[in-house]
Structure formats: structure tokens, C-alpha cells
Structure 1
């Protein structure tokens, strides 16, 4: 599972590269996420703009990733494609996760100016 971390000031921006988070990669997703944020103390934004399919196992992996951050830390999502947004809305996870339309919007919410 390829997830690329990019430090943007206090934010860990995690770009999910594959176009699917499903049962076949859910465990690798959680393991990779844990490895990337293990030593990060600040906010984490998960960039899902490449993800066009998210099944129940994938959703469970994203929820598990949120729990890995522990108390007082929030996992934010950005760049939801229509199919992923629909899953979040139908499961009411849109009320659990802060969701930003774009990475730039997520960065601005934390006072980080997006790259020009």
C-alpha cells in the first residue's frame, strides 16, 4: 500500500496513492498509516483524491487509523471523490471526520498557506 507522507508545517499530509481501499489492502493501509504517523504529534490529513472505491473493510481501516492517533488527535480527510463521499455520507462518517474539499482547504484550516 503506497501512502506518501508530506510534512506541511505542523500537518502530516498523507497522500493515498492507490485508487482503492478495500479488503485486499485494508491491513496494509493500517500498517503503513501507523508507521508514518508513529512519531508525528501534530494534525494528520488523509488525502483521498486518488481513491475511487472504498468498501466496508476500507472504511474500517480509515476508522482504525483515526483510533491509532489516540485521544486528542483528529484525522481529517480531504479530496473525497464522489463514490467515497457517498460512503462517508451513508455511514454518517461525515459527522465523525472533518472533511475538506481539497488539500489546500485542509492546509488553510490549520493556517498553512498552500504552495503557490
Structure 2
């Protein structure tokens, strides 16, 4: 699982650089997020802007990552692509997570 981290003010931004979070990588994803989240920052923002496919195992891994951080830290999501946003909307998980259009600092990084 290819992920990177950065700081955006008080937030820790974890960017998923793979295009899929599915059953094949769900456990690896959860472990990678847990390891990276040991760095300081609250909230933890999961940047999914490069993820184009998320299945139920992937969704479960995102929820498990949220539970690993709670209650001391919040897990928020950013940059959901249309197919990933649809999964969150259909499962009503969009009401559980704070979802940002893009990750903090995304415009600076692109410029």
C-alpha cells in the first residue's frame, strides 16, 4: 500500500497513492494508516483523491481506521472521486465522516 503523509496546520494528511482499496489490500491499508497515524496531528485527514475503486472490504478498512483513532482523534476524508463518493453515499457513511472537497494544502502542492 503506497501512502504518504504531510502536515497541514494541525492536521495530519494521509494520502493514498493507490487507485484501489479492496479486499486484496484492506488489511495492508488498515495497518499502513495505523502506522502513519502515530505521527502528531488532529484531525487525521485521509486523502482519497487518487482512489477510483473502493469495495465493501475497503469501506470496512476505512471505518476500522476511524475506530482505531477514536475517540481522541477524528478521521476525516478528502478528495473523494465520483465512484468512491457514491459508495459512501449509498451506504450512508457520508453522514458518519466529515468529507472535504480536497485535502488541505492540495492547491499549494499542485502549484
- Report the TM-score when normalising by structure 1: 0.87
**Which residue is equivalent to 1:11?**
11
Q: Which residue is 1:27 aligned to?
A: 27
Decide whether aligned partners of structure 1 residues 88 and 18 sit closer, same or farther in structure 2, where only a CA change above 3 A counts: same
Structure 1 SS opposite 2:7: strand
For structure 2, the residue ranges without an aligned partner over 5 or more in a row are: none
The residue number in structure 1 matching 2:53 is 53
How far residue 7 of structure 1 moved from its aligned partner, in angstroms, is 1.4
Other-structure match for 2:79: 79
**TM-score normalised over the length of structure 2:** 0.90
How many Å apart are 1:40 and its aligned residue? 2.5
Task: Return the alpha-carbon distance in structure 2 between the equivalents of residues 7 and 103 of structure 1.
Answer: 11
Moved over 6 A (4+): none
Distance in 2, Cα, partners of 1:36 & 1:17:
14
| Distance apart, 1:59 and its partner CA | 0.1
Distance 1:61 1:31 in 2: 9
Q: Tell me the C-alpha RMSD between the 2 structures.
A: 1.4
Displacement of 1:41 after TM fit? 4.7
Contact 2:49 2:81 (C-alpha < 8 Å) held by counterparts? yes
Deviation at 1:73, TM superposition (A): 2.0
Q: Could you report, residue by residue, the CA deviation over 1:43-94 in whole angstroms, capped at 9, with x for unpaired residues?
A: 1000001000000000000000000102142111011001000000000000
